[in-house]
A and B are shown apart, each in its own frame.
Chain A
Amino acid sequence: MRKKWIGFSLVGGLLVALAAVVAQQPSVLFVSTQFTPIEEAQRMRQVILKDFSGRVEFIPEDNAPFTNRILSEARAGKVNVSLVGGLHGDFPPLISAGALEPVDDVMAQLKDRKFSPTFVNLGKMGTGNQYYIPWMQATYIMVANKQALQYLPAGANVNTLTYSQLREWGANLQKATGKRLLGFPAGPRGLMHRFTQGYLYPSYTKSAVSKFRSDEAHRMWSEFKALWQYVNPQSTTYDFMQEPLLAGEVWVAWDHIARLRDGLNQKPNDFVAFPAPIGPYGRGFMPVLAGLAIPKNAPNRAGAVALIEYLTRPEVQLTTLVENGFFPVIQTKLPDNLPQGTRMGADAIARQAQSNVALPSLLPVGLGAKGGEYNKVFQDTFARIILRGEDIRRVLDAEAANLRRVMNDTKAPCWSPDPASNGPCPVN
């Protein structure tokens, strides 16, 4: 028996010896909150970054360790990461801690890229300096199983669907099949709060904050509650709508394009993609923007600048679209030979953004680390009204107090589509 034990110690000792094997050549360490799914990370490394001249170590990770890491490295004064990639909302805590270096010089080098001016502006984070370079964009759309199309309400077209037509559609589907076939990603990691913030509220109130508890919002919630009776009750477990769509549990669904593309790519002939529904004020929708930034004291700033230049090239932007489903942030023509699933998504996004009822609403601006609390207000409001059936007026008043606190704490002025404000965005 003792021999066995000694054996264990020996194995342990051997493992210690292995620890000594550490040797790294200089490269660009690129940490990103995007492309965490393992396939996307792999395609990023093997396809998108393939033609870059230097060596890149691409490390995707969740938002929380990402923020902690960049802040720790900045505070310790010993920075390993040369380039960070993240969503617009990932950057404020880094900027307020002074961990990022402005990239105005890089922006100047990229003059010929034809970035969308809105995105360039967002990258300034409300300051005079450019803090990140736009990298790629995405948004949320609807996808339906083709079998569901025959049950569309009379006179309805998926491309100009209204919220009340969506409700009728769900009712028709239930009548015909006996099942509740609408679906929303209301699971623990689902993005349901983006639906209420960026789609429902703007469509019904042309606002997300100032009219949070208005009568229009009250009507919106009661209509959405009526719609919810045709939504698959499993929705509270869905994180990615592509799975229930592929499994046939759900026939009509709303989600982030990246969380639908597996379905569109695997069975392009079974599905249609189309824009989000239209409400009284138009079609509220939320573009999602990711950017690239350089930490202060980055060990390989030159390499990071070269990598930014590479990632914003038109051909690399298109590769990013085809491989990982994020859309270009520069003005470029999409080639005709896109995969069918990607093409369907691109068409739906274009119709969503370009129609005359389009009502783009930005991701929260200026909330900093309070972004999570802001989301929680919308998650809680949804859960209390729709899932627990609490009184709408009471919930709106209670949650408005929480929302007001977030706004006052952060002093964030209103962002589109709320009308501009002096001082913190008011919750009327």
Chain B
Amino acid sequence: MNARLVYLTLAVLLALWVLVPIFLIATLAFSDRASVFAWPKGILPQQFSLETISFFFGVEGVGKAIRNSFLVAGLTLVLAVLLGAPAGYALARYRFAGADAYRVLILMTRAFPLAILAIPLAVRFINLGLYDTALGVALVHTALALPFAVLVTSSLFLGIPKELEEAAWTLGCTRVQAFLKVVLPLALPGLAATAIFAFVISWNEVFAATLLTLRERTLPAFLLTALNDSPLPFRFAGGFFLIVPALVFIFVIRRYLFTLWGIANR
């Protein structure tokens, strides 16, 4: 009983820790300017107002930036899973020379701060014609997301008994069929988690997105620098604007996560 109480308290605290900031941002995003500046600020929404939020939809280029953000994050998600899952599978199923070195090398891509690569990267992208395209940004984001994708999927495939696959082979499946019919369904929740990772990494990334685009900005690149220097009401509205799409995406994909954590389908 006591343990349950502690458990519940912890759960509530954890939920509050995540929800309270989102709640405050949301209420202030929908308040009028005067109550944003008021001191002390109220906990509950003060004067409901759509003024600042609707301003955002009116800003030139926001629609395009949202589209670009989804495009880049979607491309990153697809590329990271398509490239990362086979690599993870190979690391999990095959012993090959240099497997350990390969594992470390994957992490190396995260070891170089993007800032020192900025100019060479931009120059190369300009020469390749990838500058100012969604594909170019997605490629950089894929490079950033791949270490996670490879390592997460490799431990994922390690967790799926090889015997299951072998049983499928003895029952007449080819290697590909066995993978598709047996391994993949079991791996799906983990792959979904990998996909979320890739999506969120791309969604939150500002540096490469700012540097490599001019007209084809993603939403964070478009808004984040602008928000730093903007008055308070815009920072709340912009913050709300930035977290909502990511929240919606995670909500859509959450049932895969629940399966991953061993909670029954719901």
Enumerate chain A residues within 8 angstroms of B123, measured Cβ to Cβ.
Answer: 72, 75-76
User: A29–B131 Cα gap in the complex (Å)?
Assistant: 15
Residues of A within 8 A of B225 (CB): 36, 60-62, 65
Tell me the bound Cα distance from A15 to B73 in angstroms. Answer: 9
Asked whether any CB of chain B lies closer than 8 Å to the CB of A90, the reply is no
C-alpha gap A4/B227 in the complex (Å): 36
Candidates B33, B75, B126; contact of A73 at CB < 8 Å: B126
Tell me, in angstroms, the Cα distance from A381 to B238 when the chains sit together: 35
Q: Is there contact, CB below 8 Å, between A37 and B188?
A: no
Cβ A38 vs Cβ B223 within 8 A: yes
- In contact, B71 and A71 (Cβ under 8 angstroms): no
**Cβ-defined contact, A65 with B210, below 8 A:** yes
Contacts A15-B70, A16-B75, A22-B133 given: A39-B119 contact, CB under 8 Å? no
Quote the shortest CB–CB distance from A333 to chain B (angstroms): 30
Q: Please name the residue on chain B nearest to A242 by beta carbon.
A: B231
Q: CB-CB < 8 A to B227: which residues of A? A: 38
Chain A 57-71 residues near chain B, CB threshold 8 A:
57, 59-62, 65, 68-69, 71
CB-CB contacts below 8 Å: B203-225 with A: 207, 210-211, 214-216, 223, 225
- Asked if residues B134 and A19 are in contact (CB atoms below 8 Å), the reply is yes
Interface string of A26-54 (1 = CB under 8 A from B): 00010100001111011001100000000
Residue B60 CB within 8 A of the other chain: yes
With A19-B134, A37-B231 known as contacts, the answer to whether A71 contacts B214 (CB < 8 A) is no
How many chain B residues touch A (Cβ–Cβ < 8 Å)?
Answer: 50
Structural contact, B59 and A1, CB atoms closer than 8 A: no
Choose the segment among A118-126, A157-165, A244-252 that binds chain B (4+ C-beta atoms closer than 8 Å): A244-252
B244 at the interface (CB under 8 A from A): no
Query: For window 337-360 of chain A, which residues contact chain B by CB distance below 8 Å?
Result: none
Does B145 make an interface contact (CB < 8 A)? no
Fill in one digit per residue for B64-78: 1 if any A CB lies within 8 Å of its CB, else 0. Answer: 000100110011011
Residue from B55, B122, B195 whose CB has the most chain A CB atoms within 10 Å: B122
- Contacts known (A19-B71, A59-B214, A69-B214); A41 close to B231, Cβ less than 8 A: no
- Verify if A78 is at the interface (C-beta below 8 Å from B): yes
How far does the Cβ of A195 sit from chain B's closest Cβ, in whole Å? 18
Query: Is the CB of B20 closer than 8 A to any CB of chain A?
Result: no
A75 in contact with B119 given A22-B216, A39-B231, A68-B211 (CB within 8 Å): yes
**A303-333 CB contacts (< 8 Å) to partner B:** none
Cβ of B2 under 8 Å from chain A: no
0 or 1 for each of A246-265: is its CB under 8 Å from B? (1 = yes)? 11110000000000001000
B185 & A65 in contact (Cβ 8 Å cutoff)? no
Q: Would you call B102 an interface residue if the criterion is a C-beta within 8 Å of the partner chain's C-beta atoms?
A: no
Task: Please indicate the chain B residues that have their CB under 8 angstroms from the CB of A16 in the complex.
Answer: 71, 74-75, 78
**CB proximity of A302 to chain B, nearest CB, Å:** 20
A69 contacts B211, C-beta separation under 8 Å: yes
Is the C-beta of A12 less than 8 angstroms from some C-beta in chain B?
yes
Q: Point out the residue from B56, B70, B214, B232 that lies within 8 Å of A243, measured CB to CB.
A: B232
> With A and B bound together, what is the CA distance between A29 and B132 in angstroms?
13
Cβ contacts under 8 Å, B131 to chain A: 80
Q: Specify which chain A residues have a CB less than 8 angstroms from the CB of B132 in the assembled complex.
A: 80
> B75, A19: Cβ atoms under 8 Å?
yes
CB–CB A266/B33 < 8 A: yes
Taken together as a complex, chains A and B put the C-alpha atoms of A68 and B121 apart, in Å, by 10
Docked-complex contact A68 and B231, CB < 8 angstroms: no
List residues of chain A with CB within 8 A of the CB of B188: 1-2, 5
Contact across chains for A12 and B77 when beta carbons are under 8 A apart: yes
Asked if B215 and A57 make an inter-chain contact with CB atoms under 8 angstroms apart, the answer reads: yes
In the complex, the answer to whether B75 meets A60 with C-beta atoms within 8 Å is no
Distance between Cα atoms of A8 and B122 in the complex (Å): 31
A5/B230 contact (C-beta < 8 A), A72-B123, A76-B127 known: no
Closest CB of chain B to A227's CB: distance in Å?
24
**A150 proximal to B (CB < 8 A):** no
In the assembled complex, how far is the CB of residue B152 from the closest CB belonging to chain A, in whole angstroms?
16
- B82-119 interface mask toward A, CB cutoff 8 Å, 1 = contact, 0 = none? 00000000000000000000000000000000000011
**Interfacial residues of chain A within 121-135, with CB under 8 A of chain B in the complex:** none
A9 part of interface (Cβ distance < 8 Å): yes
In the complex, what residue of chain B is closest to A21 when comparing beta carbons? B67
CA distance A8 to B85 in the complex (A): 15
Query: Do the beta carbons of A37 and B229 come within 8 Å of each other?
Result: yes
Q: A38-B223, A248-B39 are in contact. List 13 more A-B contacts (CB 8 A).
A: A1-B185, A8-B195, A19-B133, A38-B59, A39-B234, A57-B215, A59-B214, A60-B226, A68-B122, A68-B211, A71-B119, A242-B231, A243-B231
Closest 4 CB pairs of A and B: A72-B122, A15-B74, A12-B78, A76-B126
Residues on B close to A: CB < 8 A?
Answer: 33, 37-39, 55-56, 58-60, 67, 70-71, 74-75, 77-78, 118-119, 122-123, 126-127, 131-135, 184-185, 188, 191, 195, 207, 210-211, 214-216, 223, 225-232, 234, 238, 256
CB<8 Å pairs between A and B, sample of 20:
A1-B185, A1-B188, A11-B74, A12-B75, A13-B78, A18-B67, A19-B134, A29-B214, A36-B225, A37-B229, A38-B223, A42-B59, A46-B60, A65-B207, A65-B210, A78-B127, A247-B39, A249-B39, A262-B231, A266-B33
